A and B are shown apart, each in its own frame.
Chain A
Amino acid sequence: MSLSALFLLLFGFGVIAFFTGRARAQLLAPRSAQRPHSRPNYHGWYVALWAFIPATVFLTIWSVVSPGLVLQSVLSSPLAAQLPPPGMERDAVINEMQGLASGSIEGAFNPLSEQLLPIYQSTHQYFAMIAIIVTALLAFAGAAFAYTRIKTDFRARTRVERIVMAVLLGASLIAILTTFGIVASLLFESMRFFAQISPVEFLTGLVWSPQTAIRADQVGSSGAFGAVPLFWGTIFIGAIIAMIVAIPLGLMSAIYLTQYAQPAVRRWMKPLLEVLAGVPTVVYGYFAALTVAPALRDFAVSIGISSASSESALAAGVVMGVMIIPFVSSMADDSLTAVPQSMRDGSLAMGATTSETIRKVLVPAALPGVVGGVLLAVSRAIGETMIVVMAAGLAANMTANPFASVTTVTTQIVQLLTGDQEFESAKTLAAFALGLVLFLVTLLLNIIALRVVKKYREAYE
């Protein structure tokens, strides 16, 4: 019997336990003069949880431990003495045996694995039997124990609610666990990378050419891991070109929507702008690569820049800027509406026109919020992947020419991890080091941005 079937059966048993417990509790009320402490449903839940939880905990632990136990007992059989000594060959035979047993491979390459198969299968069955029996025992014992505790004055609700609280706490701890998982996996793999390449070379080197030699005598693939050109490319596309597009358009849109537009126009245009943020980035990437980039290259050639690349930084940056417009606009919108009405009224009462009020009073007052929004937008832009993977180039150039090709951190992460390289090489590990840098920079930008926005909010509250 497979593990999932066992879980399903256990779940079914839990449902039965619930109804049995509830029925028993329902009988309590008429028999005694005293009102029961908990409603029948809670007694039902109590029985069901006792039937389900201990058995599930056992099954979970068992499913982690048992493959090792099975293997160990197979290896202690007399036939296993013929196995090659520990190493690649031995692992291959064992993998083959397990593959045969699960049916994922049809025939064995090594005859020994076929000989071991019956032993493996019988041990496997034996351990599965143990699992079934223990699970059944635990489930029945738990249910019986809980069932006998159903009494008029038993506080089933308190117990059930305690478990509910534990589940709630557990759910919210997953967020911490995820953060920890990200930091740990990035740090761990980066450490292995930095054991091969020094962090100083990585952070200050000017040459990026991650092709490591497979053979020692290979020419031209020494593998240089200086990430500065990548950082420059990322900043050039995400923080310079994209922001030149996004800040004016986003800010002016927000000003128009909050200060000039009729309510009906605002009601329609605001969601429309948000659609821009909802379009998948792969669609933007495709659009940038297929429509914007060729058009920009033709334009550059027509004004006399013959070296213009069809993977120009400008194409990726402009499209990314358009994608970012809604972020800038909604943050600016929030900060503009948060400026107290009295400031606006005061300026207008002095005879200033609306635009003078906006430029000299509202925008300076809302500036911290706008700056926070821009910082968030920058963090979004430098972490954006698909647009640059599809529209930006792979050449790690240090150039400020927007028509030339540059590469970014995220492009390189994708590039490094989608080849056929083995996992241990510096090339693949470099992706994690780049990921770590990206994670830290976006984290820093977000923290600063939230601080700025929060301080500003406090100032007006």
Chain B
Amino acid sequence: MTGAAEMTAALPEQRATTDWSGATMQRRIAKRYAAEKRFRLLGLSAILLSAAFLAFLLVSMLIKGVPGFTQTEVSLPIDFASSSLMIDTAALKKGGADADAALAGADIESATAAAADAAFGADGARLLSDGAWLKVRDAIKDNPDILKSKSNVWVPAAVEIDLAAKGQGTAEADQKLAKLKARDAIKTGLNIGFLTGSDATDPTLVGIWGALKGSLLTMAITLLLAFPIGVLSAVYLEEYAARNRWTDLIEVSINNLAAVPSIIFGLLGLAVFLNFMHLPRSAPIVGGLTLALMTMPVIVIAGRNAIKSVPPSIRDAALGVGASRVQVVFHHVLPLALPGILTGTIIGMARALGETAPLLMIGMRAFISSAPTGFTDPATVLPVQVFLWSDEVSKGFIEKTNAAIIVLLVFLLAMNGLAIYLRNKFETRW
């Protein structure tokens, strides 16, 4: 009490007390509270704007992309018996190479075009996709008996008809579509070819599998190289390295590599792997090597944080019962740090999966019409496929590009989801 009394006494006596209930002060307080409210709203709107942009991006991709997974098909009546097709039915029934040879000898393409003209009038062939005859060929292969009679085959429609059926057609295409609809010769269904095929020049024939497989092969190389090297160097730097100039140099390099623009890694890959080591162009092995160099620093940094968070008592206890320094790390620290390391690895791999620029540098932007079968085959990857299709002029590629983006985002979301799941399930708070 005496202290408070002294403080009061120390105050200057002349000063008039502020009249907080007066109009001036009330106005001032109201103004300050209004400013507070405005500031808070500003913060909220900033975050909502960012979220809205994300939502708009994802929703617009989804709306435009989902039609890319479907395909419009036309029912094409073909009179095989009277057509000009000369196919050895006996060879067909034997199957295998004989059947392929027999089919290769026949001009199914012009027979299909002729059938379309006969069925839908002049220019009928233009209602069908350029690859329609492939479906006819498959139909003959499946059931050689149809060659004796007249039958209907469902074949992919041309791009304009496909777009018109999905509500994006021109007036002319809409008319054609209406005619086909009147004959009940059209349907829209799931496009299985999109999930199993590779790149093509015609949007109705393209598929994503080739790029997806290229991505998987590239990621396999990246993981095989970046994970062990990343984890081992994290262990070394965190557990064993003496504090000296060399260690500092390693640390500085790793931190800088994590921030180097990805395109620089592409230049490195071009100069070293292609021009110096003469590895094959466009191959998943080169892409994997390049992305591994890019991903490794991410894994090292995540790994070091995970190892750092294992409490020293674990190490002391292991050393206390006679484990060697290597045993301490490999038997105790590493297993405990593994969930954290895996989370970091998955996030790094997700980044590598979405990376485009370095792969453009090493030539993975070639037109590849069949899925790669090995690590040295020319291949492309999902994000590069998106880039290539986005450059195409044909309007049919827009929905395919969006569909490819959806496939890419599904993979990325799955990987990030897995990382979050691992973190929540295995993360120990010491």
Most-contacted residue by chain A among B43, B228, B351 (CB, 10 A)? B43
Q: Is A172's CB under 8 angstroms from B241's CB?
A: yes
State A249–B387 Cα separation when bound (angstroms): 28
Contact among B50, B53, B232, B361 for A167, CB-based, below 8 A: B232
Q: Does A200 sit within 8 A of B, measured CB to CB?
A: no
Q: Is A355's CB under 8 angstroms from B39's CB?
A: yes
In the complex with contacts A171-B229, A171-B233, A181-B272, A280-B390 CB distance below 8 A: no
Q: Does B134 sit within 8 A of A, measured CB to CB?
A: no
In the complex with contacts A176-B253, A418-B360, A279-B232 CB distance below 8 A: no
Q: Is A353's CB under 8 angstroms from B50's CB?
A: no
Name the residue on A nearest B43 (C-beta).
Answer: A256
Q: Is B357's CB under 8 angstroms from A385's CB?
A: yes
> Which size class do B's interface residues fall under?
35 or more
Q: Does A392 sit within 8 A of B, measured CB to CB?
A: no
In the complex with contacts A178-B293, A414-B263, A390-B50 CB distance below 8 A: no
**Residues in chain A near residue B267, CB distance under 8 A:** 182, 185-186, 413, 431-432, 435
**Residues in chain A near residue B276, CB distance under 8 A:** 185
Q: Is A354's CB under 8 angstroms from B401's CB?
A: no
User: In residues 238-282 of chain B, which contact A (Cβ within 8 Å)?
Assistant: 240-241, 249-250, 253-257, 259-265, 267-268, 270-272, 275-276
Contact among A168, A273, A279 for B409, CB-based, below 8 A: A279
**Residues in chain A near residue B254, CB distance under 8 A:** 175
Contact among A157, A174, A386 for B356, CB-based, below 8 A: A386
In the complex with contacts A168-B240, A279-B409, A383-B261, A248-B271 CB distance below 8 A: no
Q: Is B275's CB under 8 angstroms from A423's CB?
A: yes
Contact among B253, B270, B324, B355 for A179, CB-based, below 8 A: B253
A396-434 CB contact bits vs B (8 Å, 1 = yes)?
000000000000001001100110000100000001100
State A175–B249 Cα separation when bound (angstroms): 9
Q: Is B390's CB under 8 angstroms from A289's CB?
A: yes
Q: Does A325 sit within 8 A of B, measured CB to CB?
A: yes
Q: Does B132 sit within 8 A of A, measured CB to CB?
A: no
The binding surface of chain A is classed by DSSP as helix
Q: Is B237's CB under 8 angstroms from A172's CB?
A: yes
Contact among B54, B249, B261 for A276, CB-based, below 8 A: B54
B329-365 CB contact bits vs A (8 Å, 1 = yes)?
0100000000000000000001101111100110001
**Residues in chain A near residue B265, CB distance under 8 A:** 182
**Residues in chain B near residue A309, CB distance under 8 A:** none
Q: Is B263's CB under 8 angstroms from A410's CB?
A: yes
A88 to chain B minimum Cβ distance, whole angstroms, is: 17
Q: Is B35's CB under 8 angstroms from A275's CB?
A: no
User: In residues 31-77 of chain B, which contact A (Cβ within 8 Å)?
Assistant: 32-33, 35-36, 38-40, 42-47, 49-51, 53-54, 57, 60-61
State A402–B28 Cα separation when bound (angstroms): 41
In the complex with contacts A178-B253, A269-B51, A417-B361, A438-B264 CB distance below 8 A: yes
**Residues in chain A near residue B35, CB distance under 8 A:** 353, 355-356
State A272–B416 Cα separation when bound (angstroms): 12
Contact among A253, A435, A443, A450 for B43, CB-based, below 8 A: A253
State A443–B252 Cα separation when bound (angstroms): 11
Q: Is B256's CB under 8 angstroms from A179's CB?
A: yes
Contact among A283, A355, A442 for B61, CB-based, below 8 A: A283
User: In residues 183-215 of chain A, which contact B (Cβ within 8 Å)?
Assistant: 185-186, 188-189
Name the residue on A nearest B44 (C-beta).
Answer: A256
B13-41 CB contact bits vs A (8 Å, 1 = yes)?
00000000000000000001101101110
**Residues in chain A near residue B390, CB distance under 8 A:** 282, 285-286, 289-290, 390
Q: Does A298 sit within 8 A of B, measured CB to CB?
A: no
Q: Is B57's CB under 8 angstroms from A279's CB?
A: yes
Q: Is B257's CB under 8 angstroms from A188's CB?
A: no
Q: Does A439 sit within 8 A of B, measured CB to CB?
A: yes
State A383–B398 Cα separation when bound (angstroms): 27
**Residues in chain B near residue A112, CB distance under 8 A:** none
Q: Does B185 sit within 8 A of A, measured CB to CB?
A: no
Q: Is B39's CB under 8 angstroms from A276's CB?
A: no
**Residues in chain B near residue A276, CB distance under 8 A:** 50, 53-54
State A164–B48 Cα separation when bound (angstroms): 51
A412 to chain B minimum Cβ distance, whole angstroms, is: 11
Q: Is A390's CB under 8 angstroms from B261's CB?
A: no
In the complex with contacts A174-B296, A355-B39, A438-B261, A322-B268 CB distance below 8 A: no
**Residues in chain A near residue B115, CB distance under 8 A:** none
Contact among B250, B416, B420 for A176, CB-based, below 8 A: B250
Q: Is A255's CB under 8 angstroms from B263's CB?
A: no
**Residues in chain A near residue B270, CB distance under 8 A:** 417
State A318–B403 Cα separation when bound (angstroms): 24
In the complex with contacts A174-B296, A290-B390, A358-B39, A442-B44 CB distance below 8 A: no
State A80–B410 Cα separation when bound (angstroms): 58
Q: Is A269's CB under 8 angstroms from B326's CB?
A: no
Q: Is B54's CB under 8 angstroms from A442's CB?
A: no
State A279–B408 Cα separation when bound (angstroms): 10
Contact among B263, B386, B416, B420 for A383, CB-based, below 8 A: B263
State A290–B63 Cα separation when bound (angstroms): 14
Name the residue on B nearest A268 (C-beta).
Answer: B51
In the complex with contacts A168-B236, A385-B262, A182-B50 CB distance below 8 A: no
Q: Does B405 sit within 8 A of A, measured CB to CB?
A: yes
Q: Does B207 sit within 8 A of A, measured CB to CB?
A: no
State A275–B58 Cα separation when bound (angstroms): 11
Name the residue on B nearest A354 (C-beta).
Answer: B36
Name the residue on B nearest A450 (C-beta).
Answer: B255
State A29–B67 Cα separation when bound (angstroms): 71
Q: Is B50's CB under 8 angstroms from A280's CB?
A: no
Name the residue on A nearest B267 (C-beta).
Answer: A435
**Residues in chain A near residue B57, CB distance under 8 A:** 279, 283-284, 287
**Residues in chain B near residue A438, CB distance under 8 A:** 261, 263-264
**Residues in chain B near residue A144, CB distance under 8 A:** none
Q: Does B306 sit within 8 A of A, measured CB to CB?
A: no
**Residues in chain A near residue B351, CB distance under 8 A:** 278
A288-312 CB contact bits vs B (8 Å, 1 = yes)?
0111000000000000000000000
Q: Does A347 sit within 8 A of B, measured CB to CB?
A: no
Q: Is A174's CB under 8 angstroms from B268's CB?
A: no
In the complex with contacts A171-B229, A185-B267, A282-B356 CB distance below 8 A: yes
Q: Is B408's CB under 8 angstroms from A280's CB?
A: yes
State A457–B232 Cα separation when bound (angstroms): 29
Name the residue on B nearest A329 (C-beta).
Answer: B50
Q: Is A390's CB under 8 angstroms from B387's CB?
A: yes
Contact among A252, A285, A286, A383 for B46, CB-based, below 8 A: A252
Contact among A176, A272, A418 for B249, CB-based, below 8 A: A176
- New contact pairs (19) apart from A278-B351, A287-B57, A450-B255, CB-CB < 8 Å: A165-B326, A172-B233, A173-B250, A174-B229, A182-B260, A186-B267, A253-B46, A260-B40, A282-B390, A286-B390, A291-B60, A355-B36, A358-B39, A385-B261, A385-B356, A386-B383, A414-B263, A414-B360, A432-B267
Interface pairs (17), CB distance under 8 Å? A175-B300, A176-B250, A178-B268, A249-B50, A252-B46, A253-B50, A260-B40, A278-B350, A279-B412, A280-B353, A283-B409, A385-B357, A390-B387, A418-B365, A435-B267, A442-B259, A443-B256
The 10 A-B pairs with the shortest beta carbon distances in the complex, nearest first, are: A383-B261, A280-B354, A256-B43, A252-B46, A172-B233, A185-B271, A171-B232, A385-B357, A355-B39, A168-B236
